């Protein structure tokens, strides 16, 4: 099934080698790998469209064709295992013609208006057409014309740009186990469609946007808030506040040519300040706040025998998933709003009062790694001040595009600091951006609050990294607290099914909808793959290590917020502003 390079490497150690000849060169490769993998090991990147690392190979696009001596037909390298003695040709006349023809056939049913397309510049179809030197399309004929599906608050579907590679379908099924979309119809009428032909907005889609990351073309993209944000910035009546999520500072350099894993916090702040926001604040402030609220919720449940395990609630894709597929676990889920929403609620109450601004004139914009945040900020419950907590939510990609439109090169920005007071945060908030981060941040605070002792070792390595499900046991005042961390909804299912069956020993579970956590969110720069995810995670911990304060309860701005405004953690006002509730949803 899912085959990562790592698995291939493991295989290489465990399994015997076979000899194959690639383009006349004899090489030894592990038995059982595909021709595609064998070629990649030899440094030949056979072009692909429907193949995507981490998903099952499918073999539909027929771009990765190679010639195998003795075989009458060409073979698809992504689905064909190597055999001892195989003689493979990767760029013979037959191969080149076949690949180009299949590409031309795809293009013959394609709009060919890259200028009007969201993926202009990051499109694999466009790139291949360039590489193959396609200059005309020999096989013209009928072209399908479809309506664009704009029903979802998060994901826009333009079937006209779809090449039916199925990467979205396999992502949604194999990684997320949501199965919101599938192939429908047959032959030339084949389309990708939500089940029962419903619009995506009425389906079980949880808005995670992982399918957008998987899509090689502009067929899937986020629902854009860019125009609304420009309008707010250009409106002199509006006081426009920006918050940037923990995972943005380690990824937004990529669209500007910086290598994945570059920390760009200061430059990012400077860039957005120049874009015209009245204040540039940090979602990390609200992440610290979340830890205080959620930590106290956990402590209360632990002490008073409340519903356990407690499950985190910061990932809105996970929340909708729970509402559809695990409504019976609703009471296990923390009632805390996500940091994005807590930030908005605080900005439009506490901060608005401080400044003496009417919240109706305040616009809160977030930059998120996430497409589900667009859905979350539109949920009916999210109106603590009487106005939307958060008005608009941009993805990292949209934010980078706005900077480029204005002509701001992030690389060349000076380093600047976030504004006060909602820009102050700790290392605990920084790690929210990676899988395991919320758990690690919570443990740092819960431990100290419960024991009254100083935590010596702040790094909880066992909850870090890309393993699908991670667990740890922490001794707190002689009590063994069991925690688990899952990222990607398929992994979440494994843990949740245990909880449902009453077979779970956990007290506290962190779930993130996106593989790798928010650094791998559906709104992040494309490409986002395993290697890039790991680099961004590394950068997240670099941010954590570099900060003077690394525990949420030590955040002075958060402490002041409680003193001046909120009162007690989990108190009445906090409850009204910072907590929420959920609604069961249909499975179909």
Partner 1 sequence: MFYRAHVLVEMTSSSVALGAAQVKEQLEREIARAGLGNEVKVLETGSFGAALPSPFVVVYPDNVIYAPVSVRDVRRIVEEHLLKGRVVRELLFAGERGGGVATFIPPSPLKKEKRVVLRNSGLIDPLNIEEYIARDGYLALAKVLTEMTPEEVIEVVKRSGLQGRGGAGFPTGLKWEFTRKAEGEEKYIVCNADEGEPGTFKDRLILEGDPHSVLEAMAIAGYAVGANQGYIYVRAEYPQSIRHLEVAIAQAKERGLLGERILGTSFSFDVKIRRGAGAYVCGEETALLESIEGKRGEPRVKPPYPPQKGLWGKPTVINNVETLANIPPIILNGPDWFRSIGTPTCPGTKVFTLTGNVNNLGLVEVPMGITLRELVFEIGGGIRGGHGLKLVQTGGPSGGTMTPDLLDVPMAFDTLPRYNSALGSGALTVIDDTHCIVDIVKNFAEFFLHESCGKCTPCRVGGKRIVDILERISAGAGSPEDLEKLRYLGQHMKATAFCGLGQAAPNPLLRCLEFFREEFEVHVREKCCPQGVCTMRPKPQPKKTVRV
Residues 79-98 as x/- pattern, contact with partner 1 by CB under 8 A: x-x------------x--xx
Nearest to ligand SF4 of 197, 567 (CB atom): 197
∠ CA 252-255-261, rounded to 5°:
50
Judged by DSSP in three states, 65 sits in: strand
Does 294 qualify as catalytic in the annotation?
Answer: yes
- Measured CA to CA, the distance from residue 101 to residue 136 in angstroms comes to 11
Subset of 136-175 contacting ligand FES (CB under 6 A): none
- Measured CA to CA, the distance from residue 546 to residue 449 in angstroms comes to 24
Evaluate whether 299 touches 449 at the Cβ level (below 8 Å).
Answer: yes
Using CB under 8 A as the binding rule, whether residue 190 contacts partner 1 is answered as: yes
Does 554 qualify as catalytic in the annotation?
Answer: no
Smallest separation, CB 93 to partner 1 (Å): 12
Q: Segment near ligand FES (CB under 6 A), from 55-63, 91-99, 108-116, 351-359?
A: 55-63
Q: Please identify which residue in 176, 243, 262, 341 interacts with ligand SF4, judged by CB under 6 A.
A: 176
Using CB under 6 A as the binding rule, whether residue 513 contacts ligand FES is answered as: yes
Subset of 357-376 contacting ligand FES (CB under 6 A): 369-370, 372
Q: Please identify which residue in 26, 136, 142, 456 interacts with partner 1, judged by CB under 8 A.
A: 142
Smallest separation, CB 191 to ligand SF4 (Å): 9
Does 231 qualify as catalytic in the annotation?
Answer: no
Distance, C-alpha 439 to centroid of its chain: 18
DSSP state, 252?
T
Could you tell me if residue 338 is left (phi over 0), alpha (psi between -120 and 50 degrees) or otherwise beta?
beta
Q: Name the packing angle between helices 339-346 and 283-304 (round to 10°).
A: 110
- Measured CA to CA, the distance from residue 307 to residue 329 in angstroms comes to 10
Evaluate whether 98 touches 74 at the Cβ level (below 8 Å).
Answer: yes
Q: Segment near ligand FES (CB under 6 A), from 58-66, 322-330, 471-479, 553-561?
A: 58-66
Q: Which of 193, 334, 338, 393 is catalytic?
A: 334
Nearest to partner 1 of 185, 473 (CB atom): 185
Smallest separation, CB 405 to ligand SF4 (Å): 18
Q: Segment near ligand FES (CB under 6 A), from 46-54, 126-134, 211-219, 580-588?
A: 46-54
DSSP state, 72?
S
- Measured CA to CA, the distance from residue 160 to residue 348 in angstroms comes to 41
Judged by DSSP in three states, 184 sits in: strand
Burial track 412-422 (b if 16+ CB lie within 10 A, e otherwise) = ebeebebbebb
Element (H, E) at 531: helix 530-546
- Measured CA to CA, the distance from residue 241 to residue 351 in angstroms comes to 11
Using CB under 8 A as the binding rule, whether residue 55 contacts partner 1 is answered as: no
Q: Please identify which residue in 32, 59, 111, 327 interacts with ligand FES, judged by CB under 6 A.
A: 59
Does 254 qualify as catalytic in the annotation?
Answer: no
Smallest separation, CB 180 to partner 1 (Å): 14
Short-list 290, 347, 245, CA closest to 553: 290
Subset of 178-237 contacting ligand SF4 (CB under 6 A): 178, 180-181, 192, 205-211, 214-220
Smallest separation, CB 170 to ligand SF4 (Å): 9
Give the binding site for partner 1 (CB under 8 A): 57-63, 65, 72-74, 76, 79, 81, 94, 97-98, 101-102, 105-106, 108-109, 138-142, 144-147, 149, 159, 164, 182-193, 197
Active site residues: 294, 297, 314, 334, 373, 376, 381, 518
């Amino acid at each position: 099934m899912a085959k990562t390079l790592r698995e291939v490497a493991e295989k290489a150690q465990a399994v015997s080698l076979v000899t194959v000849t690639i383009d006349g060169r004899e090489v030894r490769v592990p038995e059982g790998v595909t021709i595609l993998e064998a070629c990649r090991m030899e440094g030949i990147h056979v072009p692909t469209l429907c193949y995507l690392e981490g998903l099952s190979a499918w073999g539909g696009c027929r771009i990765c064709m190679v010639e195998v001596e003795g075989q009458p037909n060409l073979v698809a390298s992504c689905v064909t295992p190597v055999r001892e003695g195989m003689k493979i040709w990767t760029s013979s006349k037959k191969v080149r013609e076949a690949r180009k023809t299949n590409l031309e056939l795809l293009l013959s049913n394609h709009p060919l208006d890259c200028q009007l397309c969201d993926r202009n510049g990051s499109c694999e179809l466009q790139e291949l057409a360039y590489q193959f030197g396609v200059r005309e399309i020999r096989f013209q004929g009928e072209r399908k014309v479809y309506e664009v599906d704009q029903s979802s608050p998060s994901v826009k579907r333009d079937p006209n740009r779809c090449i039916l590679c199925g990467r979205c379908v396999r992502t949604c099924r194999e990684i997320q186990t949501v199965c919101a979309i599938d192939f429908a119809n047959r032959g030339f009428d084949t389309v990708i469609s939500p089940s029962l032909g419903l619009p995506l907005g009425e389906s079980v889609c949880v808005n995670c946007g992982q399918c957008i990351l998987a899509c090689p073309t502009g067929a899937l993209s986020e629902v854009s808030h860019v125009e609304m944000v420009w309008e707010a910035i250009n409106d002199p009546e509006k006081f426009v506040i920006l918050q940037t999520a923990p995972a943005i500072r380690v990824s937004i350099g990529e669209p500007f040519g910086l290598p994945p894993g570059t920390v760009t916090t200061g430059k990012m702040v400077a860039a957005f300040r120049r874009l015209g926001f009245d204040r540039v604040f940090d979602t990390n402030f609200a992440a610290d706040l979340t830890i205080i609220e959620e930590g106290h919720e956990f402590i209360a449940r632990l002490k008073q025998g409340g519903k356990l395990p407690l499950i985190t609630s910061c990932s809105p894709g996970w929340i909708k998933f729970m509402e559809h597929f695990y409504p019976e676990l609703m009471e296990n889920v923390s009632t805390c709003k996500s940091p994005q929403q807590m930030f908005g609620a605080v900005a439009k109450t506490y901060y608005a009062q401080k400044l003496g601004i009417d919240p109706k004139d305040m616009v809160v914009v977030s930059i998120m790694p996430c497409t589900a945040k667009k859905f979350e900020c539109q949920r009916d419950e999210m109106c603590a001040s009487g106005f939307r907590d958060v008005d608009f939510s941009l993805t990292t990609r949209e934010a980078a595009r706005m900077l480029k439109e204005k002509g701001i090169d992030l690389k060349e920005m000076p380093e600047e600091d976030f504004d006060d007071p909602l820009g102050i945060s700790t290392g605990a908030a920084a790690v929210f951006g990676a899988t395991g981060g919320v758990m690690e941040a919570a443990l740092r605070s819960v431990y100290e609050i419960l024991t009254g002792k100083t935590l010596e070792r702040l790094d909880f390595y066992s909850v870090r990294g890309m393993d699908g499900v991670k667990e740890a046991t922490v001794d707190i005042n002689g009590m063994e607290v069991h925690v688990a961390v899952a990222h990607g909804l398929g992994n979440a299912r494994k843990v949740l099914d245990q909880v449902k069956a009453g077979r779970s020993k956990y007290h506290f579970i962190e779930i993130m909808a996106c593989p790798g956590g928010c650094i791998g969110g559906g709104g992040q720069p494309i490409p986002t793959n395993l290697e890039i995810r790991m680099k961004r995670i590394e950068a997240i911990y670099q941010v954590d290590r570099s900060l003077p304060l690394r525990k949420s309860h030590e955040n002075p701005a958060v402490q002041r917020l409680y003193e001046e405004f909120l009162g007690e953690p989990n108190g009445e006002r906090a409850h009204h502003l910072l907590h929420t509730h959920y609604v069961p949803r249909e499975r179909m």
